[in-house]
Amino acid sequence: MVKKVLADLNNYFQRDKIVRNLEFFQDFIIVFLCLGLFCVMLIRLVDMFSSFVRPLDLRQVTSDILFILILVELFRLLIDYIEAQSISVAAAVEITIVSALREVILRGVLEIPRDQLLSIAVFLLVLAGIFIALPRMSRLFEHSRISHSETTEHN
């Protein structure tokens, strides 16, 4: 009886069709994000190469290169999302680490107040811990998912 009511509700709301349409729009948004990110990368590359005409500012060139690398990693993350429909936490952690280090490099370690530098160091340590723990955690989740599927198959 309950299954029939749920099946009728599912048919009434057409959940499968709604979910499929929402996933399509989500992919559409991700594709536009990729195109926008690609355009930003091209603009930054043109800006960087045009800055070589003027006297070389090493800090600015380093900033541009690191920023472009961050954008490339974000682009790769979006491409991976389109392919696998999931985000790699490891890639997101890598991007965050590079972004934090970019800010430290740009401002200079000596120019950053001590308490801010300490908080950045703690933040980077936490990110490193997450990065190191990710493979172990994914194996644990896989093992628990396999165990759960085995127990449901036996019932």
Look-up: residue for tokens 């800006």?
A: 47
Distance from chain centroid for Cα 68: 15
Position 149 confidence tier, pLDDT thresholds 50, 70, 90: low
Q: How many residues does the chain have?
A: 155
Encode pLDDT of 39-58 as tens digits.
Answer: 998 998 888 888 777 777 77
Taking the whole predicted model, whether its pTM rises above 0.75 is answered as no
Predicted local distance difference test score (pLDDT) of residue 60: 76
